[in-house]
Amino acid sequence: VHLLAGHTLGSLRQQQILGQRARLLGLGTITAGLTHQLNNPAAAISRAVAGLWDSGAKLQRKLAMFTEGGFTAESVRALVTIQDDVTERVRTSPHELSALESADREERLSDWFDDHGITHGWDYAPTFVDAGLDVDWLDRVSRSVGAGHLAGAVEWLKHTIDTQLHTREIAEASRRISALLADAKQYSQMDRGDYRYVDLHELLRSTLMVFNTSVGADGPIDLVTEWDPELPEILCYAGDLNQVWTNIIENAVEAMAGHGTLTIRTGYECENMIRVEIIDDGPGIDADIIDRIFTPFFSTKPVGEGTGLGLDLAWRIVQKHAGSVSVHSEPGDTRFIVCLPLEAPGPENAAAEVPVVRPTSA
């Protein structure tokens, strides 16, 4: 009796330690990812603020041309109207030109500046292109202020555009930081109860945010998502499921050794179950060990680099949800398949889980 009681208490204590360690690992992962990802928008804000100070000072100095340059009241009103127009264009019209299109437009603008006797046109052209402006818009400026004031008007508008572009850059970087923090909050589930209805795809997106530097547009590993938009929200332990996706994706990234394609596919397994497949095109898992990868403390990594607890933890969490996890692997196609019910057992039914059966290869 004492032996069984000690074994039971030891198992419970081990599970508590594993859970705490998993949370600490998750915290370290998200902290490292956020630190790297927040650096880029923060640096962009710093650069934009410095540029904003410079362009703002130049813009103020150019105001003297209204009194010293002989601008008529009508010309000033027209120029202010054009300034309002360019401000609205920069604020509301995202710049979506390819590199070739941008180069062609810059060349046309440079030629226009040369034809109208404006020096440094080659330097002004990229700024006007970034604002989404073209030759037709410059023709409007020329008609409004006249040839005698055109050079000063163009320079003043150039500083106006610089100011607005820096402001837009600050706004976009700020939105990026807000999005990263929102994803981090979603990942850690700091602002919500653990057991509730959630969007499965939001959980996957927030987890992928942690791997942003290695997977997707910002990383060397391509990301393919094939998500079923008809999937409903599921009742689950959201924070725990994020650990499942983290551990499986982390193994896939390590297996691909920094290059390859990660595919995540979602859909229905049956009427009351959903299916999530996480697929990598790495070398695959050897047939003689594939049945052991969910075993606690089993790891293929060198000593000191892995604990062998990641997939065991993922398996335990899926079991807690009354779901199943399996793996199929061959060179170039390793896929982990997680099936979850639309409604996981609640905390009051924690003891009524499915029988404990270790998964094997599919």
Question: Comparing 58 with 320, which gets the higher pLDDT?
Answer: 320
pLDDT band for position 123 (cuts 50, 70, 90): confident
CB hemisphere CA count around 76 (13 angstroms) = 12
Q: Stretch 265-273: mean pLDDT, rounded?
A: 92
Q: What are the tens digits of pLDDT across the range 273-316? A: 999 999 999 888 888 887 777 776 556 555 444 445 578 888 88
Please say whether the beta carbons of 207 and 187 come within 8 A.
yes
Q: Which residues contact 204 (CB under 8 A, 6 or more apart)?
A: 225, 227, 245, 264, 266, 276
For tokens 């923090």, name the residue.
181
Q: Which of 307, 317, 309 is nearest to 276 (CA)?
A: 317
Q: Which two tokens stand for residue 248?
A: 């499986």
Mean pLDDT of 172-200: 69
Residue 263 predicted with pLDDT over 90: yes
The ranges of the chain annotated as CATH 3.30.565.10 are: 192-349
Residue 4 has pLDDT above 90, yes or no: no
| CATH fold label, 192-349 | Heat Shock Protein 90 (3.30.565)
195: β partners = 237
Spatial contact of 240 and 234, defined as CB atoms under 8 Å apart: no
What does the DSSP 8-state code read for residue 343? B
Identify the pLDDT of residue 63: 66
Tokens of 293: 């990868």
